[in-house]
Structure 1
C-alpha cells in the first residue's frame, strides 16, 4: 500500500499536483479546484499539527472509527467518490491564487519526510499509528487528484 512516508510516492503525487490545469473541473463532488486545494492544504495542516484545529474524536467515530479504519486500509482500493467531508474541512471561499495553493500543498506533502505529530487524533478514526497516517494521507491525496483527473 502506498504511503506518504515513501519518497517516490511523494514525488509522484507532487508531479500530479503540478500537472493539474488551472481550469480543471471536478469529475464528482461540489468543490471547484480552488476549494479542493484549500481543503487539501487545510487537511494536511491538521494532520501535521500546524493548523488551528483541536483534536477530538467524534461520538460515532468512537463507536465505528477503528472498524472503518481497518476496512479502509485493508487494501489499495481508492476512496469512494461519495466519502463525506468533515465540516471543519468544507471550504466556502470559491476563488483565489491556485498556483500558490498548489505550492502550499506540495510543501506539506514534502514535509512527510520529517513527519512527527504524536498528538494527532483523527476526528472519526481516532488515534492512529504513524503507518496508518501515511496510508490515509496517501489515499486522501489520491482521491482529490483523481477527482480533478490528475
Structure 2
C-alpha cells in the first residue's frame, strides 16, 4: 500500500481530487461527493492535530481493525463507518473540495516530519503507518466515486 509520504503520492491524490465533481454518483455507500469530502477531512484533521472528534481508545477496534488501517490490502466496499464519522447532513461540494485540498497541502508540507503524535484510538503509529492509513482512506473513497 502506498504511503501519503512517498514521492508522487500527494500529486496522485490531488489529481484524483481534481477529477471529482459534484455530479458523480457513488459506486457504493450512501454519501454524495460533498459528504465524502467532508468525511475524508476527519482523519487529516486528526493527523494534523486540528481535531480529535472525541475518538477514544477501544481495545476491540484495535484488535480487529488497526492492522487493516495500514495493511497492503485495499478496503472492501461498504465497510461500516466509525461512530461519529458518518456524514448524513448536506455538505457543499465546492466548500469541502477546497477544505480538503488545503488539508492535503498542509500534510504534504509536513511530509519530512517524523514525530507524529499517537492516534487517539490506535495509539502509537510509525510515520509509515500514518502515511499508509491516510492514503488508504483517501484511496478507498476516491475509488468509491470512480477516481
Q: TM-score normalised to the size of structure 1?
A: 0.83
Unaligned 5+ runs, structure 1: none
Partners of 1:43 and 1:89 within 8 A in 2 = no
**Residue segments in structure 2 that go unaligned for 5+ positions in a row:** none
- Give the alignment partner of residue 98 of structure 2, picking from 81, 94, 103: 103
SS in 2 for 1:127: coil
CA distance in 2, matches of 1:83, 1:72: 12
Give per-residue Cα distances to partners, 1:47-71, cap 9 Å, x unaligned. Answer: 2211252452113134x15xx4435
8 A Cα contact 1:4 1:109, kept in partner: no
User: Equivalent residue for 1:40?
Assistant: 40
Q: Work out the CA distance in 1 between the residues paired with 2:83 and 2:134.
A: 18
Deviations 1:80-132 (A, max 9, x none): 11222111211121232x12211211221222231556333252x33211110
RMSD over aligned CA atoms reads: 2.1
1:149 counterpart SS class:
coil
Deviation of residue 7 (structure 1)? 3.9
Correspondence for 2:141 among 135, 139, 144: 144
Matched, 1:86 2:82: yes
Whole-Å separation in 2 of the counterparts to 1:56 and 1:3: 24
Structure 1 or 2: more helix by fraction: 1
How many residue pairs match? The answer is 144
TM-score by length of 2: 0.84
